[in-house]
Amino acid sequence: MPSAVVNASTPDWINVLSFGADPTGGSDSTAAITAALSAAVAGGTVYLPAGVYSTSGPLVVPPYVAIQGDPGTSQVPWTNAGSVIRPAASFSAGSYPVPAVIVLLPQALGGYPTVSEEQKFRNIMISGEDLPAGIHGIGCYGQVKRVQLRDVLISRVTGNGIHQVIDSAGNQPNAWTAIHVFSRYNGGCGYFLRAADSNWTKCLSTNSGAEGWLINTTSNSQYIGCRSEHSGTAGYRYQCNNDGPASGSVAFVGCSTDQSTTSGFEVNGPRGLPVLLSGCCFRRDGANNGSGGGGYAAVFANGYPGQVIMTGCVVFPGVDDNGAGTNSPQFGLKATGTAYVQVSGCRLHAASTPVSDDGTNTAVVYDGATSFATGPTSSPVSTPGVSLPSDGMRVPEDYGFTAWNMDPSAMVSGTALVRGTIYLSRIKLRRPRRISQILFGISRAASGTIARQNFVALVDATGAVQGSSAAGSLDAKLATAGIVTQPLTAPYNAPAGDYYIALLVNATTPPAVMCGSGQNMTCLNLGSPPALAWWAVNGKAATALPASFSLATNSATGALSIWAAVS
């Protein structure tokens, strides 16, 4: 557009300079810009030429009006930042229901003859470093629809960068579209969103005081290529309060995090729309101010009653840019009290535990294209995914078990145990699981059980006992034939790897337990060294289990191929 036209004012193109706005920031431009907004016709544009515009109160943008600025050449110094709205230290939010530099109001409250919609913002920067406390960048109250933002920068406001509020009647914003919005160094959230049916594309929050993105319900919305970096709490926190029949799922596609203070992506809420994470990357989350740990995860499904679907996502840990700090996140995926989590084709690499499943979830499932790793990015310890069984094959999950060491069809009637002998049966967990029970089978009941000298335990690959039955809790169960289900004293979040089930029985007549059909340990162990034997004996004349075993002393002599399962 020729400069003569740009700098002029027409009914559909209004230059704020024509109303006395000061682009040097030397005087208050609030009244001038407000007058320009009031003079704009529906479909018109209020133009702010490059410069800094000082304001002392909110700018209220009416329906069907655009605010257009000039693009900047850099973010700082401010003289090169294009069209900048810079509220003064004396800024007062007035009596509006949302305290913000720019305010969007619904029809009734704004006194508009039509629905409040189609406000547009292009090439505008809000610079809030002088603001008093608790002032947002762009604030929206109630039903304001089809707002469009493109190439907008909101920096250093003391509240949230963008703040959407449901009004007292329950009306909410709707159908917003944002492209290339940058929220940086703001005191609250980068984005506090309530608008359904919306699209956010290539929008960034960095160095927010709270969440990068705090999103409530926003059903039927998409977040595409958005980022959260160095957030004060979670990178993204999605909360669902409405999953009615008119609601749709929420999709995060190609989004990313980096160094969130707490978890990278947390989903919670009393209601449960399906949440899709597709092709997302979660990096160095749970930084916890350099301390790592804290129970934080790249993805945290926290008491969510709906479905969380992860496909093609990558989690990888790290430390600070200068090499300081503790490797994080502690967990790749953490789920507690959640209805359903599905992980497909993902790489979950965490500092210590790829998956934390506390057993309170209805289902956490993975496919064979998902892999796991722990340790630093430079030298991960990897575990491959699990191939799905062929149709017709039964698997432990069919019976509510987590894993077993052989199909039950391979069991025979059983073999009597030797009193005081500690039997080890190796079992493999191909993905992280939460173990709370051990199962084995009795084909002939014991008699004369000696009290408080009978135990089962879960032993890890180093020989450490990670969970055991309580003294006396197994005694009575040995007197009945059938499948024994024995709880551990406390559940154990087991990383993927090899484990042993330890079984110790002391009775006048020990029970016979269900074993595999072959008893030749040389064949059954397939030449494995003692520490990796599938079935072994590690202790005799014992009345209790040790706190740890030396697996190198495993012996095949007297070992039995005992069937065992965990859940």
Predicted confidence (pLDDT) at residue 77 exceeds the cutoff of 80: no
Q: How many domains does the chain have?
A: 3
Map tokens 């080890």 to a residue.
Answer: 424
- Here the tokens at position 427 are 């079992």
Q: Are residues 443 and 499 in the same domain?
A: yes
Peptide bond into 77 cis (omega under 30): yes
pLDDT given for residue 400 in this prediction: 80
Query: Closest Cα partner for 206 from 221, 191, 219?
Result: 191
Instruction: Say how far apart CA 461 and CA 556 lie, in whole Å.
Output: 17
Query: Domain for residue 216, yes or no?
Result: no
Q: Are residues 312 and 345 in the same domain?
A: yes
Question: Comparing 166-170, 212-216, 283-287, which segment has the lowest mean pLDDT?
Answer: 166-170
pLDDT given for residue 406 in this prediction: 87
Q: Are residues 204 and 288 in the same domain?
A: no
pLDDT given for residue 411 in this prediction: 78
Query: Closest Cα partner for 255 from 227, 233, 283?
Result: 227
Q: Are residues 425 and 346 in the same domain?
A: no
Query: Domain for residue 19, yes or no?
Result: yes
pLDDT digits (tens, 9 = 90+) for 11-48: 689 999 999 999 999 999 999 999 999 999 999 999 99
Strands 177-184 and 447-449: unpaired
Select from 353, 388, 423 the last residue of a domain.
388
pLDDT given for residue 245 in this prediction: 76
Residue 103: other Cβ atoms inside 10 A = 25
CA distances to 119, 281, 283, 525 from 180, rounded to whole Å, are 17, 19, 21, 60
Query: Closest Cα partner for 68 from 148, 164, 154?
Result: 148
pLDDT band at 496 (very low <50, low <70, confident <90, very high): confident
Strands 381-383 and 371-374: antiparallel
Amino acid at 442: I
Instruction: Say how far apart CA 464 and CA 217 lie, in whole Å.
Output: 45
Q: Are residues 381 and 484 in the same domain?
A: no
356 beta partners: 334
Mean pLDDT throughout 548-555? 95
Predicted confidence (pLDDT) at residue 83 exceeds the cutoff of 70: yes
Mean pLDDT throughout 547-552? 96
CA 515 to chain centroid, in Å, comes to 42
pLDDT band at 5 (very low <50, low <70, confident <90, very high): very low
Q: Are residues 6 and 120 in the same domain?
A: yes
Query: Domain for residue 218, yes or no?
Result: no
- Here the tokens at position 365 are 């499932």
Provide CB contacts within 8 A for 254, sequence distance 6+.
224, 225, 278, 279, 280
Query: Domain for residue 156, yes or no?
Result: yes
Query: Closest Cα partner for 514 from 485, 483, 559?
Result: 483
Q: Are residues 374 and 428 in the same domain?
A: no
Select from 178, 210, 242 the last residue of a domain.
210
Q: Are residues 405 and 377 in the same domain?
A: no
Query: Domain for residue 393, yes or no?
Result: no
Query: Domain for residue 146, yes or no?
Result: yes
Question: Comparing 1-10, 156-165, 328-337, which segment has the lowest mean pLDDT?
Answer: 1-10
In the chain, the percentage of residues whose pLDDT exceeds 90 is 78
Max mean pLDDT among 28-37, 242-251, 394-403, 511-520 falls in: 28-37
In the chain, the percentage of residues whose pLDDT exceeds 70 is 93
Strands 221-224 and 250-253: parallel
Mean pLDDT throughout 268-273? 93
- Sheet with 465-468: list strands edge to edge: 465-468, 455-460, 497-504, 422-429, 535-537
**CATH code at position 117:** 2.160.20.10
Select from 388, 416, 432 the last residue of a domain.
388
Residue environment code for 455-488, b if the CB has 16+ CB neighbours within 10 A, otherwise e: bbbbbbeebebbbbbeeebbbebbeebeebebbb
pLDDT digits (tens, 9 = 90+) for 372-407: 999 998 899 887 665 555 555 677 877 788 899 888
Q: Are residues 424 and 511 in the same domain?
A: yes
Peptide bond into 329 cis (omega under 30): yes
Predicted confidence (pLDDT) at residue 8 exceeds the cutoff of 70: no
Q: Are residues 155 and 243 in the same domain?
A: no
Predicted confidence (pLDDT) at residue 296 exceeds the cutoff of 50: yes
Predicted confidence (pLDDT) at residue 437 exceeds the cutoff of 50: yes
- Structural domain including 421 reads 401-566
Query: Domain for residue 544, yes or no?
Result: yes
Q: Quote the mean pLDDT of the chain.
A: 92
| Residue 230, CB-side half-sphere exposure with 13 Å CA sphere | 10
Going through 430-509 in order, the beta strands assigned E by DSSP cover 433-444, 447-449, 455-460, 465-468, 482-494, 497-504, 507-509
pLDDT given for residue 4 in this prediction: 38
Q: Are residues 179 and 73 in the same domain?
A: yes
pLDDT given for residue 80 in this prediction: 58
Query: Domain for residue 463, yes or no?
Result: yes
Instruction: Say how far apart CA 286 and CA 300 lie, in whole Å.
Output: 11
Q: What is the DSSP string of 92-159?
A: --TT-SS-EEEEE--HHHHT-SS-SB--EEEEEEEE-TT--TT-EEEEEES--BS-EEEEEEEES-SS
With the CA atoms of 466, 469, 471 and 475 taken in that order, what torsion angle do they form, in degrees rounded to the nearest 10? -150
Q: What is the DSSP string of 391-447?
A: TT---GGGGT-SEESS-GGGB-S-EEPPTT-EEEEEEEESS-EEEEEEEEEEEE--E
Q: Are residues 197 and 257 in the same domain?
A: no
**CATH code at position 523:** 2.60.120
Q: Are 53 and 81 in contact (CB under 8 A)?
A: no
| Residue 174 φ/ψ, nearest 5 degrees | -155, 145
- Here the tokens at position 377 are 């990015």
